[in-house]
Amino acid sequence: SQKIEQNSEALNIQEGKTATLTCNYTNYSPAYLQWYRQDPGRGPVFLLLIRENEKEKRKERLKVTFDTTLKQSLFHITASQPADSATYLCASAGSGNTGKLIFGQGTTLQVKP
């Protein structure tokens, strides 16, 4: 079955460093991948979408890559800040409907001052 996996272990980094989160997919080839931020007790907030024909996408301090050979997307936050501490979710659409998302389990990022 279609599966998205993220490192479930929390990532702890020092303020100012670059955080890198990994998303791997198996048993299908998503047309695009999305990254969301979720704070405790809140709904996910959309951050970035990258299509399969795009190698890299940037938005301010965020960068996402999509490697169809490795079946992997990397999510980078440069110059990380304590306010970046949250859980980051990788998601892709199941076959057909673009609104029906399959989520990874999320990686919790903790940025220490």
Partner 1 sequence: GAVVSQHPSRVICKSGTSVKIECRSLDFQATTMFWYRQFPKQSLMLMATSNEGSKATYEQGVEKDKFLINHASLTLSTLTVTSAHPEDSSFYICSASDSSPGRNTIYFGEGSWLTVV
Contacts with partner 1 by CB under 8 A lie at 34, 36, 41-46, 89, 97-106
CB 66 within 8 A of CB 54: yes
Q: Which is nearer to partner 1, 30 or 106 (CB)?
A: 106
* Residue among 15 and 54 whose Cβ is closer to partner 1: 54
Distance of alpha carbon 7 from alpha carbon 90, whole angstroms: 11
**Which of residues 47 and 74 has its CB atom nearest to partner 1 in the complex?**
47
Residue whose entry in the numeric block shows the structure tokens 């996910």: 44
Q: How far is the CB of 100 from partner 1 (least distance, A)?
A: 6
For 47, half-sphere exposure in the C-beta direction (CA atoms, 13 angstrom radius) is: 27
- Report, in Å, the least distance between residue 4 CB and partner 1: 9
- Least distance from partner 1 to the Cβ atom of residue 25, Å: 14
Query: How far is C-alpha 33 from the chain's CA centre?
Result: 8
